[in-house]
Structure 1
Amino acid sequence: MASVQRQLDDITPSPFMPPVVWSTIEMLSGFVRAATQATAQVVVLARTLGGQRDGYFLAGLTLSSQTIQWLSSTGLIGGRAQVWAATTTDRDYLKLRGWKRAVAGAAHRQELVAGNLGEYAVSEFDHASQRVGDGDSAFEQWRIYGRIQDRFSLWALIQHPLRELPQMFFTLRAVQHPASMPVSLASLQMVQESTNTFAFNMFELMHSTQTFAAQIGQVRKMYEVASVPNKVEDGTVPFPEDTAQILSGVALEFRNVSFKYPSTENYALRDVSFSILPGQLCVIVGANGSGKSTVLKLIVRLYDPDEGQILLGGHDIRTLRLRDLRQAISVLFQDYTHFPLSIRDNIAIGDPSAAGDDEHVRRAARLGGAEAFIEKLPDGLDTYLERPVQDLYAGLPEGTTTLFGRKVDYGSLRDAGGMKATDSSTLSGGQLQRLAVARSFMRSVVPEDAKVGLLLFDEPSASLDPVAEHDLFRRLRELRGSKTMLFSSHRFGNLTRHADLILYMNDSAVVEAGTHEELLKQDGGYANIWKLQAQAFL
């Protein structure tokens, strides 16, 4: 499976490298060896140096020389004292790096799959890569040039004499006491060898403690491969056979569906059955963990049910071509993410075929309630919520708060040389949710658009204030009759009173079904929650 191979490649980047478990064992063995040798050498040195002329002083000089050399190699001392900063405004390079991060990471996997974004992501990456060419290596070339300059600095001239301090001291002692030269020479050789070995083991011990946690993380990744779920098999039946079939929505039916998430014992859904006619509005309500979100994930085939059938337009969805199935559905997950791309691209990926139409993007932003705050951002639609290429800088004067129009982050060092990165623009939870809603509107704002027949929304107003929620649901109700809509929500009122069907779920099953008025008359679980929420406004 491709996902398994990617994870294995991530922990073993080269076929010539040893397996991660073996390298971890080697690292642990090296740690134990270095600690044991360092302890033994401290004892041996203490006993040996006491009987040698200037033994402790020679050992101190040698250890100091080794320490200075090590600090120089790490760049902690002797580096160039200069102020510099680097950023990029190249849209193609930002998009290239953004898509690379989006595809490589697991955070966006659900939306990439459900939104049929795989081919589009690869295409966008390739086009951006061709436009960028080899220009992305300019910064690294500058850093290499800087390292070469360091080799010809004042520090480079004085660090070599510092290494020879023990020999210089020995020479002076030999001039003072010529008769003791053979003994002093033997002492020098023994002390230097012992001290150098001790210093090497100490540095190795420090390095081992720094990298051991990262190595354990690689081991964990390897064992997580076993938990990667099997790939959902593609169907063969095209959908829809005629685009007119979904012009006014598409029928949806669950028949005795039961499902358990991989590696779990409890049912997320148990014997769930319901039917929605084309163009109807259905709202699923219930407590957290009752199975509402699972219903939506099964419809787009992120998972397949263990028992029962799911029918779309009268077809078992397992027989439909995955691409066609997901093309006919627009979904907003509760655990939505925002891609490391511009706001324009974050909205546009809701409908890749219209990604180049700024007017379409602005309309979707307006309907999603995001247009007003986007216009107030310094870069508007070109704003990055999470820049895939961070701004780097070093040696900035203390008190600097902004750089390239963004806040300076003094807390995160990019490497031992002092390179730091600025943070990205931040929005409130409600604003982020409006962007996610705007993305969904990209393929569902035009009633006559026959590409989408089913809209799925999982808690679309969880982070919205009451006014924004009311406006959102009003706009969505305007699509009623032209799209089949299925919502999951724990907030009643704006949708449930207008729903053609309400499903009240509890303990992974549908326990009540009907309209708002019908369920109130039943005076069951739905009616009780409705009354509790209504009391808050009385």
Structure 2
Amino acid sequence: MGRNSRRARTSRPGTFDPSDRTRVKHTKIGVWDLYEEIDPARAHVPGASYAERAFAAYECLPYLARMIRDICAIRSCWFLLAAYALAEAGQALLPAASLWYSGQLINILQITIETRTVEADALFRVCVGRVACSVIRRILNHVLSELRGPLARRLKAQYSLHLFRARARLDLPTFEDPLVQRQLEDASSTSGSIAYDTLVMGAGIVSTLVQVVSQVSVLASVLGAQRDGILLALLSFATSMSDWVTRWNVFATEQVWAATTKDKDYIQMTGMKYVVNNMEHRKEFITGNLAEFMTKEFKEVSERVGPDNAVDFNELRRASRNRQRFSFFGLLQDPLRELPQVVFTLRSIQHPASMPVSLASLNLLQQTTSHFSFTVWRFFDQTSSITEQLATIRKLYEVANIPNRIVDGKIPFPEDAQKIRHGISLEFRNVSFRYPGSDQLALDNVSFTLSPGQLCVIVGANGSGKSTILKLSVRLYDPCGGTILVGGHDVRTLRLADLRAAVAVLFQDYTHFPLSIRDNIALGDPERFHDDARVRAAAALGGAADFVGRLPDGYETHLDRPVRDYFSGLPEGTRTLFGREIDFAGVRGAGGMASRTGGPALSGGQMQRLAVSRTFMRSVVGEDARVGLLLFDEPSASLDPTAEHDLFARLRELRGNKTMVFSSHRFGNLTRHADLILYMNDSTIVEAGTHDELMKRQGEYARIWMLQAQAFL
């Protein structure tokens, strides 16, 4: 299933246009229209497409070599890899050993017929050898089974770390790019098994080659002395081999195709199924009294579609392919398989005395052919996906080389760590910016200057550009025009790690990590992640300590527990399990198993206090010379007026000399204390000044201030 899902996509350049009849073949399958790309390579020099695919596979070989080096570098895998290789080698040689013992039985039979005596010792050794091969095969199968699990887990852990590191290093514009998301998705879908699959594929190919070579060698020695032995072998193998060779293509590539249906009845029938099966429509379904009507309508639509067409596309396509496989050559293959039996019968008539030996040889040959054909088929099956496997390895490694769009600067910051105690200056000079994929400016020629230690409040309606100023200040994005200066330096020239270590940010669209409350707060300062006292102090300053203390698990409470609880059918009255509420909406198919989602029901204000506490963890707890600029984006949006007043009071008291920038759409007590107020509208700064200055101007700021103030009169 995993392989098929990966093949549904292709990174092949160009476009696929179903309406282009010169490059796309159209086939009608039931109610479905199938469009298949006609390979453009067929129009060029014969064999050019194979050479191109072979060269593409060759370009992937360095990534395969790197994967081999990475696997060998995992010390915990050394013993497992050695044991796995030995077990595979032993298992590959066992069929040839069994075949050799079978040949010895034929020799004993021939001697017995000629001399009328049985070599008991030789017969006993053969029997013991055959039994030993069976026992060893069972042991090796068990050993391989025991080794696969630990190997797969170690390789999965190694490449989970690889993928985690590759994702973690991406900046925001790069991570938001749909093409990058697709690349990450492709790599993620294979990261857990690609290394293990490659290891198993490589071992399987080598093992199969060993089996083929060893069995052919033994079979040639066993049947070489038999009358017509080689002829019987060739006839037995030819039919099976021709079948598999016609299907094998080591440089196979996935065909581009698409399918759709325009049948209104089928679309309506499928839509009705969705309505009746999904919870989201159940309220309207019941209150609209739709049960009887929809059932009657569904019956009529189903009859119009017909039972042969009322199935999904994949089922119809499989049936169509099965019909296409019926051919004249296919009819001949079964009679050809009977040729060895015909040759044996004719030779038995000519030489009746050799019939027992010939019969034993034929039986051995047929058994060997069956096993040998399966072995050869497995080899073809393994090698047919080599190009795909190599391409997947390349994807897995290339994801770690995705270039970031925010280019790191070279200048260390700050030059003097002590100066940061007195805040960091911030200046925007004619800055304009539009978000990726948008035609509208989020900031239009914005300029302002904020001196070290000043308090700036940016006010305005939602969408006016307030949050964008904060995002550009820490280089989540780079402006389209203009210059941003932090501490007197062009922000583009500063080391990103240094810049972000000197700035603490709380965004309006904050998130909570699927970790414990303690970890959520502690991540505000990774360098002090394990300092529990600091975590509790930050929670107290953020106003979260009281409600966290009342939770059953306190700071170890998970807002969204990342590891689910699984359970089978439970008694009807069960509502809690392991001290947590059960979410029966998580029930999934087989076995009645279900997983719990969610966490304690916290209010929006409580969730925001946790986010504020995380920001306090690094910015204002204790004497911290590393942070000189505090950016708060709507920090009180979910707080009631009392909590908002308390928050602003704590911020003013605890910020010390740090520079602080607030954005808010509510005009409150904080603006009275601001050194600079920026009133924004439509991506530009309309007014700038202190509260008293803006009130005297009687402009937009004063008008909205009075409107909001009247609400409390």
TM-score (norm 2): 0.47
| Shift in CA distance, 110/373, structure 1 to aligned 2, threshold 3 Å | farther
| Shift in CA distance, 204/273, structure 1 to aligned 2, threshold 3 Å | closer
Q: Give the whole-Å Cα distance in 2 for the aligned partners of 1:99 and 1:484.
A: 38
Partner residue in 1 for 2:190: none
State the one-letter code of the partner of 1:483: K
Partner residue in 2 for 1:147: none
State the one-letter code of the partner of 2:415: E
Partner residue in 2 for 1:298: 472
Q: Give the whole-Å Cα distance in 1 for the aligned partners of 2:3 and 2:313.
A: 26
State the one-letter code of the partner of 2:447: S
| Shift in CA distance, 101/361, structure 1 to aligned 2, threshold 3 Å | farther
Q: Give the whole-Å Cα distance in 1 for the aligned partners of 2:537 and 2:513.
A: 20
State the one-letter code of the partner of 2:634: E
Rg larger in 1 or in 2? 2
Q: How far does residue 441 in structure 1 lie from its aligned partner after superposition? A: 0.1
Secondary structure class of the residue paired with 2:485: strand
Kept after mapping to 1: 8 A contact 2:171/2:404: no
Q: Give the whole-Å Cα distance in 2 for the aligned partners of 1:15 and 1:230.
A: 31
Q: Give the whole-Å Cα distance in 1 for the aligned partners of 2:9 and 2:631.
A: 42
Kept after mapping to 2: 8 A contact 1:99/1:341: no
Q: Give the whole-Å Cα distance in 2 for the aligned partners of 1:110 and 1:474.
A: 33
Are residue 452 (structure 1) and residue 441 (structure 2) matched?
A: no
| Shift in CA distance, 249/112, structure 1 to aligned 2, threshold 3 Å | farther
Q: How far does residue 424 in structure 1 lie from its aligned partner after superposition? A: 2.7
State the one-letter code of the partner of 1:495: L
Q: How far does residue 404 in structure 1 lie from its aligned partner after superposition? A: 1.2
Kept after mapping to 1: 8 A contact 2:423/2:452: yes
Are residue 376 (structure 1) and residue 550 (structure 2) matched?
A: yes
Partner residue in 2 for 1:478: 653
| Shift in CA distance, 534/22, structure 1 to aligned 2, threshold 3 Å | closer
| Shift in CA distance, 112/406, structure 1 to aligned 2, threshold 3 Å | farther
Uncovered stretches (5+) of structure 1, i.e. residues with no partner: 1-11, 37-95, 114-197, 210-224
| Shift in CA distance, 442/480, structure 1 to aligned 2, threshold 3 Å | closer
Are residue 351 (structure 1) and residue 525 (structure 2) matched?
A: yes
Q: Compare relative contact order (CA 8 Å, sep 6+) and give the higher one, 1 or 2.
A: 1
List per-residue Cα deviations over 1:141-174 (Å, max 9, x = no partner): xxxxxxxxxxxxxxxxxxxxxxxxxxxxxxxxxx
State the one-letter code of the partner of 1:531: M
TM-score (norm 1): 0.61
Q: How far does residue 445 in structure 1 lie from its aligned partner after superposition? A: 1.9
Q: Give the whole-Å Cα distance in 2 for the aligned partners of 1:269 and 1:458.
A: 16
Partner residue in 2 for 1:129: none
CA RMSD of aligned residues (A): 3.8
Partner residue in 1 for 2:613: 438
Are residue 325 (structure 1) and residue 499 (structure 2) matched?
A: yes
Partner residue in 2 for 1:151: none
Q: How far does residue 494 in structure 1 lie from its aligned partner after superposition? A: 2.1
Partner residue in 2 for 1:278: 452
List per-residue Cα deviations over 1:122-150 (Å, max 9, x = no partner): xxxxxxxxxxxxxxxxxxxxxxxxxxxxx
Kept after mapping to 2: 8 A contact 1:34/1:204: no
Q: Give the whole-Å Cα distance in 2 for the aligned partners of 1:475 and 1:466.
A: 14
Q: Give the whole-Å Cα distance in 2 for the aligned partners of 1:478 and 1:421.
A: 46
| Shift in CA distance, 345/514, structure 1 to aligned 2, threshold 3 Å | same
Q: How far does residue 447 in structure 1 lie from its aligned partner after superposition? A: 5.7
Q: Give the whole-Å Cα distance in 1 for the aligned partners of 2:663 and 2:173.
A: 18
Uncovered stretches (5+) of structure 2, i.e. residues with no partner: 17-24, 33-157, 176-305, 318-398
List per-residue Cα deviations over 1:327-380 (Å, max 9, x = no partner): 100000000000000000000000011111111000000000000000000000
Q: Give the whole-Å Cα distance in 1 for the aligned partners of 2:680 and 2:580.
A: 46
The worse-fitting range, judged by mean Cα deviation, of 453-462 and 485-494 is 485-494
Partner residue in 2 for 1:144: none
Secondary structure class of the residue paired with 1:417: helix
Partner residue in 2 for 1:187: none
Within-5 A mapping of 1:183-198: none
Are residue 244 (structure 1) and residue 233 (structure 2) matched?
A: no
Q: How far does residue 491 in structure 1 lie from its aligned partner after superposition? A: 1.3
List per-residue Cα deviations over 1:32-79 (Å, max 9, x = no partner): 74768xxxxxxxxxxxxxxxxxxxxxxxxxxxxxxxxxxxxxxxxxxx
List per-residue Cα deviations over 1:270-323 (Å, max 9, x = no partner): 111111111110000001111000000101111100111100110000000000
Q: Give the whole-Å Cα distance in 2 for the aligned partners of 1:526 and 1:488.
A: 14
Q: Percent identity?
A: 62
Q: Give the whole-Å Cα distance in 2 for the aligned partners of 1:461 and 1:479.
A: 17
Q: How far does residue 411 in structure 1 lie from its aligned partner after superposition? A: 1.6
The structure with the largest helix share of the pair is: 2
Secondary structure class of the residue paired with 1:503: strand
State the one-letter code of the partner of 2:413: F
Q: Give the whole-Å Cα distance in 1 for the aligned partners of 2:550 and 2:542.
A: 16
Q: Give the whole-Å Cα distance in 2 for the aligned partners of 1:374 and 1:441.
A: 16
Partner residue in 1 for 2:689: 514
Secondary structure class of the residue paired with 1:303: coil
| Shift in CA distance, 109/395, structure 1 to aligned 2, threshold 3 Å | farther
Aligned match for 1:408, one of 559, 582, 585:
582
